[in-house]
Amino acid sequence: MEREKTFVVGDIHGCLHMLRRLLHEIPWRPGRDQLVFVGDCIDRGPHSKAVVDCILGLMHMDHQVTCLMGNHEAMLLDYLAGIDPEVYLANRGGTTLSNYQAERPKGEGPFIPYDHMDFYRSLKPFMELEDYYVVHAGFRPGIEIERQSVEDMVWIREPFISSDYDFGKKVIFGHTPFYRPLIMENKIGIDTGAVYGNRLTCIELPEERFYYVEAKPAVLG
C-alpha cells in the first residue's frame, strides 16, 4: 500500500474560492492522508466564516484534518476577550466580524456560533510529523521545541526567517508571505500571499511537491 502523505495548506485569509479550487487540485485521499492548515484562515479576505465552515466540514468528514493556530485566530480570541481590540481591527479583523454579523439570524443567538468558538479554542500552535514540524509563524532559533513560546510560534518573523539553525526536523510554516515558497535546508515557507492577489499554496509531504492556485484577476468595467 502506498504510504500516507501529509498535505499542508498555507494562509487562506478568507479566500474561499481559492481554497475550494486548491482542494480540487491536490491528490489528498480522505481517510488515508493528513490534511493540515497552518492557520490564518480568517481576516483580510471576504469569506472568513465560510472558510471556517469548509474546514469544519472537512474535519467532521475525516479526523486526520488539522488546523493550527495563526496570529489572526489568536487576535480574534483576544478581541472577544476584550484584549487589545484595536490590534485586531488594525489587522483587518473587521472583515471577519462583518461575516459573522451578516450571517447572524435576526441578530439573535451567539455572535460567533458555538462550533466556531470550539474550533478557535481547540487550535494548537504546532504539530510534529515524522520528519517535519508544522507551525504557523516559526520557532526562535537556539530554543528547544518544547520550550518555544506560543507568541513566537504564531508571530515570529526574524530571527527565524533568515536563520539556518537546525531545529531537529525541517519546519513547514506560513505567516510571512513570499512570491514563491521559501525553500531552505531547515525550513519551507508556504504563505504565498493568496489574499494579496498571488497564490494559495499546498505542500505534499514527504515528497515536498507543491500545488497552488492563482488568484483570479478582477474584472474591470
Q: What is the CATH number of the domain that holds 166?
A: 3.60.21.10
Question: What is the grid cell recorded at 58?
Answer: 472537512
47 lies in a domain? yes
Question: What is the grid cell recorded at 194?
Answer: 493568496
Average the pLDDT over 100-120 and give the result: 87
How far CA 84 is from CA of 77, 135, 139, in Å, comes to: 10, 24, 24
**Strands 34-37 and 6-9, bridge-based pairing:** parallel
Whether the Cβ atoms of residue 22 and residue 202 lie closer than 8 Å to each other: yes
HSE-CB at 22 with a 13 A cutoff on CA atoms is 30
34 lies in a domain? yes
220 lies in a domain? no
| Local confidence band at 107 (pLDDT 50, 70, 90 cut-offs) | low
Q: Considering only CA atoms, give the Rg of the chain.
A: 17
How far CA 135 is from CA of 66, 70, 101, 108, in Å, comes to: 12, 8, 30, 36
Helix (H) or strand (E) holding 127: strand 126-128
Residue 34 DSSP SS3: strand
221 lies in a domain? no
17 lies in a domain? yes
How far CA 47 is from CA of 50, 91, 95, 98, in Å, comes to: 5, 16, 8, 10
State the total domains in the chain. 1
Give pLDDT, residue 218.
Answer: 46
| Separation CA 187–CA 164 (nearest Å) | 8
The chain-wide mean pLDDT, for the chain, equals: 95
| Separation CA 214–CA 200 (nearest Å) | 7
| Local confidence band at 105 (pLDDT 50, 70, 90 cut-offs) | confident
167 lies in a domain? yes
219 lies in a domain? no
**Strands 199-205 and 6-9, bridge-based pairing:** antiparallel
Whether the Cβ atoms of residue 116 and residue 49 lie closer than 8 Å to each other: yes
Range of the domain at 42: 6-214
206 lies in a domain? yes
Helix (H) or strand (E) holding 18: helix 16-25
What is the reported pTM? 0.95
| Local confidence band at 81 (pLDDT 50, 70, 90 cut-offs) | very high
